[in-house]
């Protein structure tokens, strides 16, 4: 069987020269790659106790939902502002060029629940930090964060220091 890294397609000079884009669609498009990714991420957090899994739109859904399903845990959605129909809380965060806002239903996390945050990637940590803030604003406790890919050169781990972060693959650059 191939190693997980072998399923990730690396595209040089995208979106700009000098950047190597790590494409997770190549993982998703291969049944063995997807299976290995979910199993690896789930295995990284097998020692954690958590009550709820949350994932951010959209790739956090792809990896978080199967982990929640396998562990028989509820799965809560974090979406772009304006996409959830019930009462929400939201957090704005910085992007490379501007800002974005994400939200979660107020009913998704109960005070005291331990939450596992799942996403495809951590780069600068802005989205991850906003997800942590959403969980905590509802009284949840972040048990940990697990991602498929960490772009370690962008220092997202530093931005969420104090929280456990597990990455299935860590690339040293950007």
Q: Which residues participate in catalysis according to the annotation?
A: 59, 96
What residues are paired with 142 via a beta bridge? 115
CB-based burial label for 147 (10 Å; 0-12, 13-18, 19+): buried
CB-based burial label for 137 (10 Å; 0-12, 13-18, 19+): middle
Cβ–Cβ under 8 Å, residues 138 and 114: no
Q: What would the 3-class secondary structure string for 32-62 be?
A: HHHHHHHHHHHHHCCCCCCCEEEEECCHHHH
């Amino acid at each position: 069987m191939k190693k997980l890294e072998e399923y990730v397609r690396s595209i040089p000079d995208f979106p700009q020269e000098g950047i190597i884009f790590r494409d997770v669609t190549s993982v998703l498009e291969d049944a063995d790659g997807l299976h290995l990714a979910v199993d690896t991420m789930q295995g990284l957090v097998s020692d954690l106790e958590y009550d709820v899994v949350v994932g951010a739109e959209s790739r956090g859904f792809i990896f978080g939902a199967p982990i929640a399903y396998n562990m028989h845990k509820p799965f809560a959605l974090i979406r772009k502002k304006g996409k959830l129909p019930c009462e929400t809380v939201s957090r704005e965060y910085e992007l490379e060029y501007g800002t974005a806002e994400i939200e979660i239903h107020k009913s998704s996390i109960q005070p005291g629940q331990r939450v596992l945050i799942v996403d495809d990637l951590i780069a600068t940590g802005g989205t991850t930090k906003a997800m942590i803030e959403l969980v905590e604003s509802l009284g949840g406790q972040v048990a940990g964060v697990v991602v498929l890919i960490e772009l370690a050169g962008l220092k997202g781990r530093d931005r969420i220091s104090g929280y456990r972060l597990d990455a299935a693959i860590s690339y040293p650059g950007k």
